[in-house]
């Protein structure tokens, strides 16, 4: 099939999806595009369906309840992250026992408040997107929030929590070894860097939620996979 014909077909599918005829658009695209473009087609149609998501009808009271839970999780997330950053950056242990105590307190805050509240924000965000007019990918600021939240959780589970476990083990080790240096420069740098990154990430997510910049997302071309007007 000629390239111009494929682009034309992709534009027609996007228009059909925008008009609320997503199922018809899927049939048309499957019949017109070649087999090697099937994966690109399926992915872009999924993106289009998320852009044109029609929310499930719920009452105003139910929407407010979801928003309350979302804001509550966000408050816990921001407050606990700030608490961890304060302990890590401003409390300088003078001996092994203080290093052990601070590491233990940070680990408890992260495991039982930071991680659950961040996951709660993600889950209530999914509910809010599915049940309100904001949708999943209709607005650029929402797409940014998805990326930041998922990146935060990935960073936390893949790097930050293992780092906390190593820090806790180090604090326990130096606490049992009398006369050793309580905290070395690499440990200090690691503690501060991780928490500053987390704190700024939460700050950006909250700021974007309030400002709501950039407007709506643009439709995607099935052939190219890039945004088009």
Q: Which residue has the higher pLDDT, 221 or 79?
A: 79
Q: What is the pLDDT of residue 24?
A: 43
- What confidence tier does 162 reach under pLDDT thresholds 50, 70, 90? confident
The two tokens of residue 80 are 């606990």
User: Which has more confidence, 206 or 35?
Assistant: 206
Give the pLDDT confidence of 88-97 residue by residue, as tens digits: 888 877 777 7
Q: pLDDT value at position 217? A: 76
Nearest to 205 by CA among 152, 166, 161: 152
Distance (Å, whole) CA 124 – CA 57: 16
What 3-state class would DSSP assign to 220?
A: strand
Mean pLDDT of 107-136: 90
Residue 145 has pLDDT above 80, yes or no: yes
Residue 212 contacts residue 144 (beta carbons within 8 Å)? no
For the chain, the structural domain boundaries read 3-51, 60-211
Mean pLDDT of the chain: 75
| Cα distance between residue 145 and residue 125, in whole Å | 9
Of 34-38, 144-148, 150-154, minimum mean pLDDT range: 34-38
Higher pLDDT, 127 or 176: 127
E-strand spans in 97-212? none
What band does 216 get if pLDDT is binned at 50, 70 and 90?
confident
Q: Which range has the worst mean pLDDT, 4-18, 54-68, 141-155, 177-191?
A: 4-18
What does the pLDDT read at residue 44?
61
Query: What CA–CA distance (Å, rounded) separates 122 from 127?
Result: 9
Exposure on the CB side of residue 209, measured as CA atoms within 13 A: 18
Question: What pLDDT was estimated at residue 114?
Answer: 93
């Amino acid at each position: 099939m000629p390239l111009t014909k494929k682009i034309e077909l992709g534009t027609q599918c996007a228009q059909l999806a925008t008009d609320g005829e997503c199922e018809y658009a899927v049939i048309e695209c499957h019949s017109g595009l070649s087999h090697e473009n099937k994966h690109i087609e399926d992915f872009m149609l999924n993106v289009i369906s998320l852009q044109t998501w029609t929310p499930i009808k719920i009452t105003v009271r139910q929407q407010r309840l979801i928003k309350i839970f979302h804001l509550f999780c966000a408050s816990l997330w921001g407050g606990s992250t700030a608490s961890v950053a304060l302990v890590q950056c401003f409390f300088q242990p003078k001996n092994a026992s203080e290093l052990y105590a601070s590491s233990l307190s940070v680990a408890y805050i992260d495991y039982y408040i930071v991680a659950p509240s961040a996951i709660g924000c993600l889950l209530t965000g999914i509910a809010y997107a599915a049940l309100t007019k904001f949708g999943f990918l209709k607005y650029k600021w929402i797409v940014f929030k998805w990326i930041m939240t998922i990146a935060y959780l990935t960073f936390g589970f893949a790097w930050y929590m293992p780092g906390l476990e190593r820090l806790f083990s180090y604090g326990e080790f130096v606490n049992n070894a009398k006369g050793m240096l309580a905290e070395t420069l690499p440990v200090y740098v690691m503690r501060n860097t991780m928490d500053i990154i987390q704190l700024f990430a939460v700050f950006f997510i909250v700021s974007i939620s309030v400002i709501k910049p950039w407007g709506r997302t643009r439709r995607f071309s099935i052939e190219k996979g890039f945004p088009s007007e």
